[in-house]
Structure 1
Amino acid sequence: MSVYAGLDTSLDAVAICVIAETGEMLWQGKVLGDPDAVTAALQRWRDDLVRVGLEAGATSEWIGGHLVDEGFPVVCLESRHVKAALGAMAVKTDRNDAQGIAQIVRTGWFKAVHLKSAAGQRLRTLTAARKAAVRAVTANEQVIRGLLRPLGLKIGAVTRVRFEARVRQLVGADRLLLGIFEPLLRMHRCLRENLADLHRLVLRAVRVDPICRRLMTMPGIGPVTALTYRATIDDPKRFRRSRSVGAYLGLTPRRYQSGEVDRVGRITKVGDSETRTALFEAANVILRPTTRWSSMKAWAMKIANRQGARRAKVALARRMAVTLHRMWVDEQDFRWSAA
């Protein structure tokens, strides 16, 4: 007998629903939010399970990865599809969500999401931690600028290294202002040191990774962008065609077609936003006048002359995503001239 299971995961507990191929409920319950507890609950139907579905979320990779290692047929479901399928339920509970997910995997009407490997999860954690540190430093600088502006003190355009010296120059010998801004400047110094530590970890990870070093042969791709792309794609073989990477990262246009209506809109912006942003910034670097000329830059410049610089950058970011995947699969460095 074919059996299907749905998991609704949260931080503390996991709601489980097991159904037969006819849709009949076989068991429903709740266990601790721990992979071992979930494995023990599903052990009874181990040989009959066809699919175990869970929604993509904060703990899905942890629990789903453990179940995959134990040999369970796990599929991770795209959150938007699950939300649309469960939106018709009048009563939303964890038990009902688990039952709905089980029905989704039974019917096969879902889009699977890739579960990252353990190495990919760690690389993703590193890039996310560095990004959080950058945002913390930026937020601290904005607070200091905002507090000084009503006093008529303008910091202006300064580098991050010169920021503290510039603030002290503006404050001068005012004892009250020194007492106010000294803790904020100490915080700024500490955040900068932590950011530098995380950036060194990124450089160390890229230095020992041959894939990242190969990706960095493309102009505009630095250590952070290479590691971000590496962690997001994780396994290049899961894409049958390199062209699919552009759609996976949300860099392809939307389309609405019904009857006589056929509209093409802006890019979808689905997928990983950090990778999409990193590729867009890399496209900016390629289109700078000082960047070395290449066939890719010539292609983007033709689009810029015809449709504008912004569209050219988006198109170039999509092409970079596709080309990076091809370089990864073929194990070849970037070619500066056309073949």
Structure 2
Amino acid sequence: MSKKIVVPSYLAAMDRAEADPSAARFWVGLDVGYKNTAVCVLDCDGAIVHQVSMKSSATEIGRYLRKNFKSHVTLIGIESGGLTPHLTTKLRAQGVQVVVLDARQVHRVLSVKRNKTDTNDARGIAEITRTGREYLTEVYVKSNLCFEIRAYLTMRDRLVKQRRETEAMIRGLVRVYGGRIEGGTETAASYRSRAIDQMCLIADTEGVDLRPRVLPLLDLCEGFYVEANRIERELELLAASNPVCRRFMEIPGVGTITAVSFYSAIEDPTRFRHVDDVAAYLGLTPRVYQSGESLTHGGISKMGNQLTRTHLVGAATVMLSNTRSFSTLKDWGLKLSKRIGFNKAKVALARKLAIIMFSLWRDGTHFMAKAADVPAHRALMQSRLPA
């Protein structure tokens, strides 16, 4: 904004701010788009001071606020989204306070308006920031390192899924001609060998040569496998150099992927007041609906990071079915599976894992196989802390 603002509402607000310093407080709402961002500024009474649309650039937004509102901006509100971490980090570096609100909750609040426009959304976000922030969830913005780790985990997950989907497609193509590619392949090379054997058999018996069409797909599967392994090796090096992740991997069933995924999903354990809040944050606690005399406990909420929740459930499955070492945690999960079934038990064990991993991180302790050893070990670790 290079032009000077001459809107009457802005001039009147600045005159009040100069006359009464206590009134020099403004709240800003940003409705961020891929190219442009709608900006709305409110005064302490909720009246619109100025509205404008500008490029989605932290530099442009910061310059606009510094030039026109000096240091009178109390808080900037922005909803979570793809560009939110970058804009929030850059704006905070310029010395302004920014709060990130849950986009789903903001959408529910703004849906009461009849017309949905970027200008109305920015006005609504500014009003939520001014008066209703206590009722909405504030989103924690992670560091660049955590975003880099999450990017690696997402890429690996996508590569593994694409490889499995491509292999399933090839299996279906071969089955049309009576071929059968047995499952249980650990590597792309072993799957390729089995697929080529079946295509050669089909060429001999049916007179149909599928190799010119399927071999490029097999090359693609091998590429997926190689790239996913490369990412896993980098994550293993990262986990080996991180003392917190090394303590996580002391738990039977928790591997590199689960440890790194949980670490990057939480990042700062001090932002949770209670250990049970971690399970709720990851969507591993049941939904509760209460109205009058009715009280219903449903399935898990599945809120939060889906990928980390999947990793925790996978670790719980490995602990229940593949690990041989004894632990009180595993014994609890096995008894629970006999009572409520394996699928529900593994989700409950995943919730326990999230709480235990968070406790290890917060207290600086190590995993104890027997629950009876935990109090003594925790007291020992706390006694070693500097006074």
Q: Same fold (TM over 0.5)?
A: yes
- Structure 1 CA distance for aligned equivalents of residues 240 and 64 of structure 2: 43
* In structure 2, distance between residues paired with 1:304 and 1:83: 39
1:122-177 C-alpha deviation (Å, 9 max, x unpaired):
11111111111112211221221122121221112141331111111111184741
**In the alignment, structure 1 residue 157 sits paired with structure 2 residue 180:** no
1:290 offset after TM fit, Å?
Answer: 4.0
CA deviations 1:281-307 (Å, max 9, x no partner) are 111111126431111112222322332
Which structure has the higher relative contact order (CA within 8 Å, separation 6+)?
1
Q: Which residue of 1 aligns with 2:350?
A: 317
Partner of 2:381: none
What is the 5 A alignment of 1:177-326?
Answer: 177-288=210-321, 290-326=323-359
Report whether the alignment pairs 1:59 with 2:87: no
Residues 246-283 of structure 1: CA deviation (Å, up to 9, x unaligned): 11111111111111111111111111111111111111
Q: Residue deviations 1:57-102, cap 9 Å, x none?
A: 1111111122222222111111221011011111111121111111
Q: Which amino acid aligns with 1:81?
A: Q
Deviating 4+ runs (over 6 angstroms) = none
TM-score by length of 2: 0.84
Residues in 1 aligned to 2:70 and 2:284: alpha-carbon distance in whole angstroms: 40
Deviation string 1:203-240 (CA, Å, 9 cap, x unpaired) is 12112212111111111110001111111101111001
Deviation at 1:46, TM superposition (A): 5.1
Flag the 1:51–1:295 CA change in 2: closer, same or farther, 3 A: same
Q: Please report how far the alpha carbon of residue 311 of structure 1 lies from its aligned counterpart in structure 2 after TM superposition.
A: 2.2
How many pairs were matched up?
Answer: 339
Aligned counterpart, 2:384: none
**Does the 8 Å contact 2:253/2:323 carry over to 1?**
no
Cα deviation 1:183-221 (Å, max 9, x = unaligned):
111212222221121111111211221211111111111
Of 25, 37, 43, the match for 1:20: 43
Secondary structure of the residue aligned to 1:329 is helix
Q: Is the alpha carbon distance of 1:110 and 1:207 closer, same or farther for their aligned partners in structure 2, counting shifts above 3 Å?
A: same
Q: Which moved more, 1:37-46 or 1:56-65?
A: 37-46
Change in Cα spacing, 1:27 to 1:141, as seen in structure 2 (3 Å) is same
CA RMSD of aligned residues (A): 1.6
AA aligned to 2:50 is W
Confirm whether residue 144 of structure 1 aligns to residue 170 of structure 2: yes
Q: Unpaired runs of 5+ in structure 1?
A: none
TM-score when normalising by structure 1: 0.95
- Indicate the residue corresponding to 1:330 in structure 2: 363
Among 180, 200, 204, the alignment partner of 1:172 is 200
Larger radius of gyration: 2
Gaps of 5+ in 2: 1-23, 374-387
Match of 1:32 in 2: 55
